[in-house]
C-alpha cells in the first residue's frame, strides 16, 4: 500500500493506531489534534428555545447525555417529551462501575464488580478538558461537583520493552534530558552563527539565554550532570537534613539512548491542548453526570426498550420497540417529532424511514474499538513505593497506558487503577476477543512489567470491550475525511420529522462535549422548524 492509498483508504483512527504502534501513543494523540479529533468546544452559552411549541410532542431515542439533554431543554421550552432507552439505566457511555454492579457483554459474559464500596472505575469517559464548556456548564447547572483530574504527572513512567532493558523511566528524566540535549545542540549551532539570516544577532543572544534557561544548560551552554540539570530532572540522592544531607545530582541519559528508546514519542502528551491542566472529573465517578441528568427526566424514560422500527409521515413519527425483558412483546410510541441519539452501529440495523442521503450516512460510519480494564489492589503501592500521585504512565505493551486515581491521595487502603485502555488496532481487537477474565489476567501480567508489585497486591478486576457492548457495538464514531465530506451534513439534516444527535454527529467524536453540542444544535434547529409551522 503506497502513502496515498494509506491516507485515502484508511480511517483517521486507524491511521492514528499505526502512528501509535510505530512512534508511541503521544505522537498518536498529537496527530489526533492535527486531524481535528480534539477540537475546542463551540459552546456559546445556554440555549434559548423561544416561542410556544403549543404542546408539540417529541420522542427521544436513547437516554445518554445527548438524549437526556434534549429532553430536559425541550421540556423547559414547553414540549411534551418521552425517552426510550435500550439499557436498564440512564447515561449510555457515561458509566461508572462500582462494587456490586453486574453487567453483560454480547456473547453472554456476565461480570459482577467486586470492588470495595468506595472504589470505582469509569469504563466510559473518564476526564473532562477545561475547554469543554458545554459539559462544564451543565455540571454547574445540575450541581455536579468536580475535582481535578491528574493527566500530567512528570513522576509517572514511560516504558518500552525494547529500551533500557525494559526498565520504566520517569517522565521528568526523559523529558528534561531530551530537552537539555536538544537545547545544547541548538546553542552550538547558534554560537557558530549557523542561524545567520534566520535570527538577528541580538535575537541570537536572547535565544542563547533562553536555551540555557529552558534546557537547564550550564554556563558553557552544555547539558551535563550538575545542580542545574538536577533541579529539573531530579537527584540521585535528594537534599536532606542533618549530617550527610547534601544532594547528589542525577546522571543525565544520553541523547542516543533517548532517541533509540522511542520514549520521546510519548512526551507530546504533556503538551497537548486537550490534556492541558486543569482537567476535571466528577467526585464519585463520571457517572454522576448521567445521574444528574436522569434526575431531571427520569419520569419520562422507558427503560429496557429496544427500538426495532422508526416510521414517519407528514404528521408524525411512530416508533416500535421490544421489551428487552420480554422478547417478542412489541409496543409503539407516537409523537410529532423524533430526536434519535441511537449509535449509528445500532441504528444502521434498525428499519428507519428516512431519505436515501441520511440512510447512506447512517450506514457509512463504523465505530472505534476500545477496551478498558479496572484493577483493584490491596494498597496504593504506586503512591507508597513509586511516589506517583495521579497521572498516566505510557507503554508499548498492549495495555498502552496505566492511569492512577486522582482521588484519596496519600491515604492508606485500597485503590483502583485503569490498567488497560486500548483504542482500535490489533491490541484492541485482540483484547475484545478475550473473555473479561482473560483481559484482567493479561492486564495484570503486562502491568507487572512496569509495577512488579502488581502480582502481590492485585485483588480483583473488571473489563469492558465496547465492540461487545449490546447498546453501542463500539466506542465512538470513527469518521474519515472522505466520509465526513460525503455524509456528515446529510447525517445532521432534519429528515422530515427526525433529527439525529450524539457524539457521532459532531466534530468532537469520542468526547462527551461532542454529544452535548450535537444535541444542542439539533434541538435548536428542530425548534426553529416547529416554530415555522
- Comparing 30-39, 375-384, 395-404, the range with the smallest average pLDDT is 30-39
In this predicted structure, what is the pLDDT of residue 314? 96
Q: How far is the C-alpha of 62 from the C-alpha of 160, rounded, in Å?
A: 41
Helix ranges (H only) for 35-89 are 65-76
Is 222 found in the same domain as 360? no
Q: Nearest 5°: CA angle at 309, between 303 and 311? A: 115
Is 355 found in the same domain as 393? no
Q: What's the pLDDT tens digit per position in 151-174?
A: 999 999 999 999 999 999 999 999
Is 488 found in the same domain as 357? yes
Structural domain contains residue 453: yes
Q: What's the pLDDT tens digit per position in 216-255?
A: 999 999 999 999 999 999 999 999 999 999 999 999 999 9
Q: Nearest 5°: CA angle at 512, between 510 and 518? A: 95
Q: Which of 442, 491, 494, 439 is nearest to 465 (CA)?
A: 439
Mean pLDDT, the chain, rounded, equals 93
Residue 53 near residue 77 (C-beta atoms within 8 A) = yes
Q: How is residue 475 written as a grid cell?
A: 466506542
Residue 234 near residue 173 (C-beta atoms within 8 A) = yes
Q: How is residue 46 written as a grid cell?
A: 445556554
Average pLDDT over residues 34-48: 67
Full residue range of the structural domain in which residue 237 is found: 171-253
In this predicted structure, what is the pLDDT of residue 508? 95
Q: What's the pLDDT tens digit per position in 86-97?
A: 999 999 999 999
Structural domain ending residue among the three candidates 434, 468, 502: 468
In this predicted structure, what is the pLDDT of residue 194? 83
Q: What's the pLDDT tens digit per position in 256-306?
A: 999 999 999 999 988 888 999 999 999 999 999 999 999 999 999 999 999
Percentage of residues in the chain with pLDDT exceeding 90?
88
In this predicted structure, what is the pLDDT of residue 196? 80
Structural domain contains residue 329: yes
- Side-chain half-sphere CA neighbours of 355 within 13 A: 13
In this predicted structure, what is the pLDDT of residue 157? 98
Q: Domain count of the chain? A: 3
Is 486 found in the same domain as 360? yes
Is 492 found in the same domain as 449? no
SS (H, E, C) 345-392: HHHCCCEECCCHHHHHHHHHCCECCEEEEEEEECCCHHHHCCCCCCEE
Is 204 found in the same domain as 131? no
Is 487 found in the same domain as 344? yes
In this predicted structure, what is the pLDDT of residue 197? 80
Structural domain contains residue 217: yes
Average pLDDT over residues 18-28: 44
Structural domain contains residue 202: yes
pLDDT interval class at 40 (50, 70, 90) = low
Is 381 found in the same domain as 359? no
Q: What's the pLDDT tens digit per position in 462-507?
A: 999 999 999 999 999 999 999 999 999 999 999 999 999 999 999 9
Q: How is residue 385 written as a grid cell?
A: 513505593
Structural domain ending residue among the three candidates 468, 499, 517: 468
In this predicted structure, what is the pLDDT of residue 25? 43
Is 492 found in the same domain as 353? yes
Q: What is the CATH number of the domain that holds 122?
A: 3.90.660.10
- pLDDT at 127 > cutoff 60: yes
User: Locate cell 485483588: which residue?
Assistant: 459
Is 422 found in the same domain as 462? yes
Average pLDDT over residues 48-57: 96
Q: How far is the C-alpha of 167 from the C-alpha of 253, rounded, in Å?
A: 13
Give CB contacts under 8 A, 24+ apart, made by 46-51.
46/137, 46/141, 47/73, 47/520, 47/523, 47/524, 49/73, 49/74, 49/76, 49/77, 49/523, 49/524, 49/527, 51/527, 51/531
Structural domain contains residue 19: no
Is 444 found in the same domain as 387? yes
Q: What is the CATH number of the domain that holds 229?
A: 1.20.1440.240
Q: Which of 309, 354, 300 is nearest to 67 (CA)?
A: 300
- pLDDT at 1 > cutoff 60: no
In this predicted structure, what is the pLDDT of residue 23? 44
Q: Nearest 5°: CA angle at 387, between 29 and 396? A: 35
Structural domain contains residue 43: no
Is 233 found in the same domain as 307? no
Structural domain contains residue 4: no
Residue 142: left (phi > 0), alpha (psi -120 to 50), or beta?
A: alpha
Which H or E run includes 282?
Answer: strand 279-282
Residue 442 gets which letter from DSSP?
A: H
In this predicted structure, what is the pLDDT of residue 7? 35
Structural domain contains residue 384: yes
Using only the alpha carbons of the chain, give its radius of gyration: 26
Q: What's the pLDDT tens digit per position in 208-224?
A: 999 999 999 999 999 99
Q: How far is the C-alpha of 498 from the C-alpha of 312, rounded, in Å?
A: 8
Amino acid at each position: 500500500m503506497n502513502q496515498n492509498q494509506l491516507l485515502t483508504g484508511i480511517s483517521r483512527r486507524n491511521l492514528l493506531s499505526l502512528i501509535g504502534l510505530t512512534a508511541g501513543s503521544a505522537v498518536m494523540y498529537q496527530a489526533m489534534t492535527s486531524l481535528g479529533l480534539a477540537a475546542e468546544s463551540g459552546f456559546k452559552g445556554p440555549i434559548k428555545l423561544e416561542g410556544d411549541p403549543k404542546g408539540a410532542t417529541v420522542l427521544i431515542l436513547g437516554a445518554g447525555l445527548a438524549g437526556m439533554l434534549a429532553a430536559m431543554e425541550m421540556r423547559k421550552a414547553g414540549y411534551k417529551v418521552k425517552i426510550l432507552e435500550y439499557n436498564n439505566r440512564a447515561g449510555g457511555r457515561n458509566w461508572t462501575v462500582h462494587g456490586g454492579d453486574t453487567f453483560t457483554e454480547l456473547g453472554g459474559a456476565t461480570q459482577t464488580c467486586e470492588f470495595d464500596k468506595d472504589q470505582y472505575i469509569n469504563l466510559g469517559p473518564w476526564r473532562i478538558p477545561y475547554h469543554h464548556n458545554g459539559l462544564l456548564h451543565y455540571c454547574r447547572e445540575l450541581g455536579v461537583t468536580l475535582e481535578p483530574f491528574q493527566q500530567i504527572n512528570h513522576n509517572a513512567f514511560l516504558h518500552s520493552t525494547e529500551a533500557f532493558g525494559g526498565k520504566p523511566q520517569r517522565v521528568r528524566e526523559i523529558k528534561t534530558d531530551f530537552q537539555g540535549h536538544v537545547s545544547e545542540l541548538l546553542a552550538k549551532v547558534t554560537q557558530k552563527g549557523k542561524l545567520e539570516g534566520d535570527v538577528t544577532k541580538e535575537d541570537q543572544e536572547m535565544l542563547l539565554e533562553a536555551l540555557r534557561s529552558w534546557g537547564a544548560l550550564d554556563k558553557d551552554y552544555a547539558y551535563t550532570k550538575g545542580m542545574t540539570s538536577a533541579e529539573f530532572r531530579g537527584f540521585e540522592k535528594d537534599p536532606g537534613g542533618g549530617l550527610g544531607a547534601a544532594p547528589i545530582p542525577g546522571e543525565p541519559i544520553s541523547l542516543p539512548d533517548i532517541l533509540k528508546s522511542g520514549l520521546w514519542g510519548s512526551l507530546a502528551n504533556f503538551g497537548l491542548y486537550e490534556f492541558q491542566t486543569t482537567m476535571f472529573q466528577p467526585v464519585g465517578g463520571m457517572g454522576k453526570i448521567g445521574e444528574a441528568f436522569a434526575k431531571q427526566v427520569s419520569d419520562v424514560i422507558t427503560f429496557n426498550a429496544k427500538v426495532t422500527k422508526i416510521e414517519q409521515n407528514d404528521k408524525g413519527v411512530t416508533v416500535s420497540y421490544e421489551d428487552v425483558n420480554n422478547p417478542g412483546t412489541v409496543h409503539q410510541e407516537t409523537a410529532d417529532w423524533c430526536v434519535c441519539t441511537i449509535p449509528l452501529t445500532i441504528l444502521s440495523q434498525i428499519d428507519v424511514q428516512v431519505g436515501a442521503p441520511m440512510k447512506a450516512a447512517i450506514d457509512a460510519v463504523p465505530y472505534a474499538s476500545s477496551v478498558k480494564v479496572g484493577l483493584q489492589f490491596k494498597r496504593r503501592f504506586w503512591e507508597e513505593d513509586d511516589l506517583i500521585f495521579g497521572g498516566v504512565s505510557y507503554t508499548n505493551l498492549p495495555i498502552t497506558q496505566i492511569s492512577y486515581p486522582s482521588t484519596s491521595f496519600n491515604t492508606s487502603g485500597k485503590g483502583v487503577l485503569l490498567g488497560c485502555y486500548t483504542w482500535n488496532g490489533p491490541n484492541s481487537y485482540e483484547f475484545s476477543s478475550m473473555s473479561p477474565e482473560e483481559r484482567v489476567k493479561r492486564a495484570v501480567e503486562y502491568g507487572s512489567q512496569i509495577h512488579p508489585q502488581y502480582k502481590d497486591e492485585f485483588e480483583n478486576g473488571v473489563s469492558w470491550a465496547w465492540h461487545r457492548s449490546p447498546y453501542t457495538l463500539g466506542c465512538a464514531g470513527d469518521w474519515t475525511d472522505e466520509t465526513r465530506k460525503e455524509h456528515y451534513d446529510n447525517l445532521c439534516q432534519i429528515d422530515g420529522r427526525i433529527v439525529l444527535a450524539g457524539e457521532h454527529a459532531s466534530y468532537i467524536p469520542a468526547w462527551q462535549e461532542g454529544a452535548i453540542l450535537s444535541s444542542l444544535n439539533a434541538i435548536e434547529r428542530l425548534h426553529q422548524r416547529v416554530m415555522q409551522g
